[in-house]
Amino acid sequence: MRVADTDREAVAERLRDAMGEGRLSLDELEERLDRAFAAKTFGDLEPLVADLPEAAQAAGWPDPLVLDAGSGSLRQTGYWVVPTTIVATTGMGNIKVDFTGAECRQRQVSVEVTVGMGNMVVVVPRGWEVRTSEVSTGLGHVVNRATDRPEAGAPVLRFTGRVRMGNLKVRYPSRFELARARRTGR
């Protein structure tokens, strides 16, 4: 599979971090960066970081966050540390994931969704990049309203998975949510 510029940059950032941790010399970093920016496929990128610890382990990030609402409702809001992977599943229930109060330490976050007849709402800060093109739908809908130009260096949320008869909606915080955050100091 071919890589995008953001994939190359994510590997480059990981390599720079590895040099900062003393895992790579400056010469090794330069050589690997050259190869990373010339990479055309994931097969070209993977060997460049294969001998490095997983990014999540190296930074102390939590294991993947698993949200399984079934027929109920789940909310991931307030302060939380964003892992590299989020797995969200709902049958007939609802899931809300709010990134506006979260601490996101990495450049890319994978969000694997399986939505049956329920709904998933994802709230992101302005400036974040959101990619939903890899989510397939049956009778359901994927609505991405977080389409402003992303800020340089901002996190990228990459959604994959399937929405059967439900809805996946990604948006910025509403005025009400912003006002509540100001009142509560979040």
Q: Is the overall model pTM greater than 0.85, yes or no?
A: no
* pLDDT tens by residue, 22-48: 888 999 989 999 999 998 887 888 888
Name the nearest CA neighbour of 84 among 104, 102, 100. 104
Q: How far is CA 21 from CA 17, 25, 80, 163, 164, in A?
A: 6, 10, 25, 41, 44
138 CB-near residues (< 8 Å, 6+ apart): 162, 163, 164, 165
* pLDDT tens by residue, 104-152: 988 999 999 999 999 999 999 999 999 999 999 999 999 999 999 999 9
Domain ranges (residues) in the chain: 5-52, 62-184
Q: Are 111 and 159 in contact (CB under 8 A)?
A: yes
